[in-house]
Amino acid sequence: MNKIFLVIQREFMSRVKKKSFLLATILVPILFPAIIGGMVYLAIQNEKNKELEVVHVLDESSILSFEDTESYDYRLVEGPLDSAKARFSKSEDFALIYIPKFDIDKPEGIKFYAHTSPGVNLVDGFENKIEAQIRDVKLTRSGLNEEQLEELKTYVQIESFNLSETGDEKKSDSGVTFGIGYVMGFLIYIFLFAYGAQVMQGVIEEKNSKIVEVIVSTVRPFHMMIGKVVGVASVGVFQFLIWMVLISVISFTAMAAFGLSMDPVETAQMMQGVDNADALQSNQKVQEMMTIVNDIPITKIVLLFVFYFLGGYLLYGALFAAVGSAVDTPADAQQFMMPIMMPIIVALLGLMMFVFPDPHGTVSFWLSIIPLTSPIVMMGRIGFGVPAWEIALSMVLLVGGFIFTLWLAGRIYRIGILMHGAKVNYKVLAKWLMQKN
């Protein structure tokens, strides 16, 4: 056991002392918010600097109307479609919309022309505009006037609450929950690749430098693999804890600079004396958001994140170590990487396709239970209120999956780490797995 700790210490210290570790640890908490802030700023500036686009409209139906907006200048054109297209193709205007005579109950034949392929959201916007006008025309023909039409438009805002078994209410917010789940799941996705690749690269480098032959003279290959995997994991946890501290300090400093507080009571006190209705409404929204943030079980989420990061990393780290021991170069490892990467990719896709639309569905449940996908998917579900027994089952199976994977990878590692120049394929790996000690 002491030899395993020595390997862990060696892996930990060799990585922590690198300048790249120090730079990544300090820059990531600063760089990511800066990138996000920069992208938001550019998006705002892009909207402000967006030029007014000219849209030609050939409306043969004569039942629709197009009023200019801040983004589009609609110009009605006449004549056959071929002439309208010829004029538009010679111009530098944005688009041409052709509306033929159509059955109001089944509008067909509407076309959109542009010089380049438009974005999907842009075409959807024009579709929604035309659909709304057709709906208004139908209502008008039914005998309703403008005032009645306006009265028919109703806007509903549903407040979401979590109701406990004791009947206690707690306000919930799907947007915040979505954000927490996505960020946590995506972070584990990134960490599995990053630290798993470090393990594989480290094994390949030691194998090629012949250092491993000296190490295995005093340490069993299986123990060396455990030490390497756990050592890199300890670096990841150490780096994550530093990030948490730095992000917390930066967040509180930024909030203090803008006069904000995480305490809803202090926020309510700030609202006193506010006369402006818009400012009051804005502060109320800030208070609601702060209340939601304060209700988030941060400690529980952080502890589960550390567990699933470690469990997922140890599971995949053993596989990455096994692959690194079986090959001589990173290029040779590519043929074995796809089976390892596929479950990770499936987990991330499952997070977006199944968990967020239906976090308690059957597919979401199984993806959060199966050890190969649970580290990413379960973190995506945590914010939606997962029953304790599901979390416990997922954690137990993940630990069992890690133990099995470690045993599996150990059988490959003990042989592959001392093999040089051998052409390794899946058949050879199967032979190593079946070989008796």
Write the pLDDT tens digit of every residue in 332-350: 788 888 888 899 889 989 9
pTM, full prediction = 0.67
Q: Please, where are the H alpha helices in 258-276? A: 264-271
Are 411 and 325 within 8 A, CB to CB? no
- Give the DSSP H/E element, type plus range, for residue 437: none
Q: 126-147: b or e for each residue (b if 16 or more CB lie within 10 Å)?
A: beebbeeebebeeeeeeeeeee
C-alpha–C-alpha distance, residues 399 and 433, integer Å: 21
C-alpha 424/C-alpha 23 separation (Å) is: 37
Rounded CA separation 49/316 (Å): 47
What stretches in the chain show pLDDT beneath 70? 1, 47, 49, 120, 145-146, 149, 157-178, 210, 212-213, 216-217, 254-297, 436-437
Instruction: Report how far residue 98's alpha carbon sits from residue 88's, in angstroms, rounded to the nearest whole number.
Output: 12
Contact between 228 and 202 (Cβ < 8 Å) = yes
Name the nearest CA neighbour of 295 among 169, 386, 202, 178: 169
Place of tokens 């499952």: 350
Half-sphere exposure of 266 (CA within 13 A, CB side): 9
Find all residues with CB under 8 Å of 363, minimum gap 6, and list them. 350, 354
Give pLDDT, residue 13: 82
**309 near 344, Cβ under 8 Å?**
no
- Residues 336, 324 contacting (CB under 8 angstroms): no
Q: Provide the β-strand partners of residue 169.
A: 163
User: Residue 260 phi/psi, 5° resolution?
Assistant: -100, 160
Contacts of 84 (CB under 8 A, 6+ apart): 56, 58, 77, 96, 98
